[in-house]
Chains A and B, each alone.
Chain A
Amino acid sequence: MQMNTKFKPLENVPLNADPSPRAISICAEKVNVFYGEKQALFDIDLNVGANEVTSLIGPSGCGKSTFLRCMNRMNDTIDTCRVSGKITLDGEDIYSRDIDVVELRARVGMVFQKPNPFPKSIFENVAYGPRIHGLAHTKTDLERIVVTSLQKAGLFEEVKDRLQQPGTSLSGGQQQRLCIARAIAVQPEVILMDEPCSALDPIATAIVEELIDELRQNYTIVIVTHSMQQAARVSQQTAFFHLGNLVETGPTEKIFTTPDDPRTESYITGRIG
């Protein structure tokens, strides 16, 4: 698709579109992140391919979540946080001055560690994003977007009779799928997931993992996870972080079977972490 210098994200989305635009790739070059004096990430270079699930793994405090939050500039909310280097979304530097973070976050959705539905109805939770971004022109449009998003998140059948009930009344796993539906509703190109299953029980986790695999068809997905089994199950690419460094990256299968770096091997086999 033709892109001029101006940022025109959703221009080619047809009216009443199925909320699944084409997925795109992310490319990070020499990314350094500082919290005040403390450096949290060192010279990260990483390519995230389109229509792939890339998982970021590594021990706690290794910087994987920080890196994830760099990709939709959620780190902007922390006063002391400074980012240098370049992250490009489909060739465009997301830290450049004429990028509007709000637009960026509409393109790069995020699902958080703990399910965080708004204390509003299920419908309103999903409808909020399309509303503020002007994605729906009529009430029917809005309803269609909500329904398709809930369907894609695999939640619709469970909640179709109680869309007006508060989102907080759902179970943990359902809440997390609601949050995924909420992210999808904005028609993002990339979805970032920050340990999306860490607060869920094994059954809910399995459902969400299945969902992630399905979503790969339409979105580029980056997932931070603590669980190596999860990384192995859902992702095609894996990046291993350690103490703020990106140690190794490659196809998931290779990382888990024949890693190049001894640190990766120690982590995989449970010696660090």
Chain B
Amino acid sequence: MTDSSASNSRQKRDFGLKRRYAAERRFRLFGQAAIGVGLFFLAALLFTVFSKGYTAFGQTSLNLDITFDAQLIDKNNARATDPDVLLTPNYAVLARDALAMKLGLGKLSSKDRKLVDGIISNGTKVQLRDMVMANPAIIGTTQNIWILAEADIDSANKGQIDLSVDEKRRKVSDRQLEWMAQLKADGTLAQRFNFGLFRNGASSRPEMAGLGAAMIGSLYMMLIVLVLALPIGVAASIYLEEFAPKNRFTDIIEVNINNLAAVPSIVFGLLGLALFINFAGLPRSASLVGGLVLTLMTLPTIIIATRAALKAVPPSIRSAALGIGASRMQMVFHHVLPLAAPGVLTGTIIGLAQALGETAPLLLIGMVAFITDAPVTPLDPATALPVQIFMWANEAERAFVERTSGAIIVLLMFLAVMNITAILLRKHFERRW
């Protein structure tokens, strides 16, 4: 096969070994380089995400003594008869005053007022209003509470703003930086764990935006996929592997399933739009529709894995069961399926992990929605974790890059947990026949 160069001198035959070994080393090097490049990209990707995103788990907050001034909140003392009066006051002033006092500023000039306001998150007024609405008794008292700092202040506090840039061109002024230093020194301004990231819904303000609603949406969809795709997939595999006669029809199903596994995910989105929304009239943006679309996508994965697991159960077990008079159904459900269960489970988890990371089809069925409150039923408008990432990735503000990366970390963590579970399951239940 190899063309050993034919200089066939009797004493010393030259096989061109030097040249050939050089080629061998080169070849090997290419292989190593290829793997190196692949691993480098993996590392670069993970590094990017983690380095940009880990800070999203902390959020700069301010610890203020806020006086709920009755004069400002309910001037006419009408709340007993008409609780709605508590909705209207400008609660932001309370936080501003508290902060100004902390900073030792007297009466604020209009320029200073703007700068002070710029430190406090826009969401504070809602936070204070909700406190008052929940418990009107706090009016007139002073409460020590934590409020969120504005996203730019948060970025500056995390060192993400280039301070060498001219003051006019950056979002945080020198004055605000001075105040921040002062507040930090007395413990008013601090980084706290960002529970809001896991609790809040969508928001146009980065410091208040969270994954809460998206995670609920994803959870609903995963449940729907699990409840539908697992039994249907297992039932289909059992039929194909254990009962189906080998004929044209089963051949078609077989080819079909393999192809379905390779159909681009976005096409499933179009199917969902046409079938579930236009034809069946299910609501747009609902996690039910998302779950159905993902079920159809996950089905081939589960079927392929389950069939492989069923195939791995040795035929002798089947003969043994049939030989003592078990029916085929009993053979499958008493013996074959329990033995294949770990494989089925592994395949299901991997299919679910795929479904969890899937974005494109969900865009088409309207899950790109601005969802501020978590969906209560699967028919409510919802969004999903990867779609939330997509929406944040399209936001222009600097602070959203951090949020996006943070969300990706959360998503990757979920996927890692699922995949590791699958691997452990496989390891633990691996059976040699």
Contact A79 B325, beta carbon cutoff 8 Å: no
Residue B77 at the chain A interface, CB threshold 8 Å = no
Assess whether A42 is interfacial by the CB under 8 Å rule: no
CB of B316 within 8 A of CB of A74, answer no
B327 within 8 A of A: yes
Q: Is the CB of A103 within 8 A of B325?
A: yes
Chain A residues positioned under 8 Å from B318 (CB to CB)? 77
Closest beta carbon of chain A to B327's beta carbon, Å: 5
- For the complex, give the distance between the alpha carbons of A182 and B317 in Å: 13
Contacts of A106 in B (CB 8 A): 324-325
Cα(A186)–Cα(B330), bound, Å? 15
The reply to whether the CB of A129 lies closer than 8 angstroms to some CB of chain B is yes
B206-249 interface with A by 8 A CB criterion? 245-246
Bound complex: CA A116 to CA B321 (Å): 10
Q: For the A-B complex with A117-B320, A183-B323 known, give 11 more contacts whose Cβ atoms are closer than 8 Å.
A: A79-B245, A106-B324, A111-B323, A118-B321, A118-B335, A119-B317, A119-B431, A128-B326, A129-B324, A179-B320, A183-B324
Cβ contact within 8 Å between A112 and B324: no
The residue on B at minimum CB distance from A103 is B325
Contact A102 B323 (CB under 8 A): no
Interface size on A, residues (CB 8 A): 28
Size of the chain B interface, CB-CB below 8 angstroms: 20
List of A residues within 8 angstroms of B319 by Cβ: 74, 77, 110, 112, 116
- 16 of the cross-chain contacts (CB-CB < 8 Å) are A74-B323, A77-B318, A77-B322, A102-B325, A106-B324, A107-B325, A109-B323, A111-B323, A112-B320, A118-B317, A128-B321, A128-B326, A129-B326, A132-B330, A179-B320, A182-B324
323-352 of chain B: CB within 8 A of chain A: 323-327, 330, 334-335, 339
- In the complex, what distance in Å separates the CA atom of A128 from the CA atom of B326? 9
Residues of chain B within 8 A (CB-CB) of A133 are 325
Cβ B245 vs Cβ A116 within 8 A: no
At the interface, yes or no: A72 with Cβ under 8 Å from chain B? yes
Which residue of the partner chain B has the closest CB to A125? B320
Q: Which residues of A contact B339 (CB under 8 A)?
A: 119
Expressed in whole angstroms, the minimum distance between the Cβ of B339 and any Cβ of chain A is 7
Cβ distance A149 to chain B, nearest Cβ, rounded Å: 11
Secondary structure call for the B interface = helix
Chain A contacts of B321 at CB under 8 A? 118, 128
* Residue ID in chain B nearest A126 by CB atoms: B324
Q: Which residues of A contact B326 (CB under 8 A)?
A: 102, 105, 128-129, 132
* Chain B 293-336 interface residues, beta-carbon cutoff 8 Å to A: 314, 316-327, 330, 334-335
- B325 and A129 within 8 A (CB): yes
Contact check, B324 vs A128: say whether CB atoms are below 8 A apart.
yes
Q: Which residues of A contact B314 (CB under 8 A)?
A: 116
Task: Determine which residue in B318, B320, B339 has the highest number of CB atoms from chain A within 10 A of its CB, and name it.
Answer: B320
Q: State A109–B322 Cα separation when bound (angstroms).
A: 9
Bound-state Cα–Cα, A105 to B316, Å: 16
A114 at the interface (CB under 8 A from B): yes
8 Å CB interface, A92-115 against B: 102-107, 109-112, 114
Q: Distance (Å) between the CB of A100 and the closest chain B CB?
A: 9
In the bound complex, do residue B325 and residue A112 qualify as a contact, i.e. CB atoms below 8 Å apart?
A: no
* Residues B325 and A132 in contact, CB atoms below 8 Å apart: yes
Verify A128–B323 contact, CB threshold 8 A.
Answer: no
Residues of B within 8 Å of A111, CB to CB, are 323
The answer to whether A105 touches B322 (Cβ under 8 A) is yes
How far does the Cβ of B139 sit from chain A's closest Cβ, in whole Å?
A: 70
Contact B325 A186 (CB under 8 A): yes
Complex Cα gap A109–B319 (Å)? 11
Of chain A, the residue at the smallest CB distance from B326 is: A132
- Let me know if B324 and A186 touch, CB within 8 A: yes
Query: Are A128 and B334 also in contact (CB < 8 A) when A114-B316, A118-B320 are?
Result: yes
